[in-house]
Amino acid sequence: MSLEQEIKMLVVQSEELDLMSLPLIQQHLQAPVSHIHLLSTYFDTLDKALMKFGVGLRLRQIGEQWLQTVKCSGEAENGLHQRKEWEHELSGPEFDVPRLAETALAPLLAQPEVWQAIEPVFTTDFERCVLPIELEDGTSVEMAYDRGEVRAGMRRAHIHEIELELKQGAIEKVQEFAEQLKAALPLEYSDISKAGQGYALSQGVDK
């Protein structure tokens, strides 16, 4: 289990950002930029038992790699998201139930009527540009620039955002960096996660 701390900001324009032209990025970039395609399916019951319990379940494909992730809803304020997370590698697109039993999902796994009713609810499909950032006092950040969409049945919503995930150091330094980015780019803080966006879309609300 780990505590995920990240700052999420929406890009308030449709055009792609040219991040590498920004002096702020050039100053703090510590390694080559990488690009990956992320396809994630989120699961729940028809009556949203997992969401009501405050936990999310995701199956993610990155190329040939598969990951299962459990996240608690946690807290979000002024773009800062803090939540417990459990992530495990898989050999294929099948859940590792014994590993899930070690997470916050355990009480629901013990209820067959809930676990057997689990089904895909929505999918996120996006391209991620990953920028390794080093700030003052040894604070390391994974900056992710995501562009794509959320799909729930026939409904679609855009993903166009930046996430700053603390890897090491002080979250206050990440918040300072976020403020600098926000001053230089068309960004606004968001307290709605991709999962939150997907759940809203699945219920007919476009967030």
Q: Is 106 in a helix, a strand, or coil?
A: helix
pTM, to two decimals: 0.90
Give me the DSSP letters along 18-70: -GGG-HHHHHHB-S--EEEEEEEEEEE-TT-HHHHHTEEEEEEEETTEEEEEE
Residue 166, judged by CB atoms within 10 A of its CB (0-12, 13-18, 19+), counts as buried
User: Is 5:23 a contact under the CB 8 Å cutoff?
Assistant: no
Taken in order of first residue, the domains within the chain and their CATH numbers are 2-202 (2.40.320.10)
pLDDT tens sequence for the chain (207 residues): 888 889 999 999 999 999 999 999 999 998 889 999 999 999 999 999 999 999 999 999 998 899 999 999 888 888 888 899 999 999 999 999 999 999 999 999 999 999 999 999 999 999 999 999 999 888 999 999 999 999 998 899 999 999 999 999 999 999 999 999 999 999 999 998 898 899 988 887 655
Distance CA 38, CA 205 (A): 23
Nearest of 58, 53, 44 to residue 117 by alpha carbon:
44
Which pLDDT value is given to residue 31? 86
User: Is 50:72 a contact under the CB 8 Å cutoff?
Assistant: no
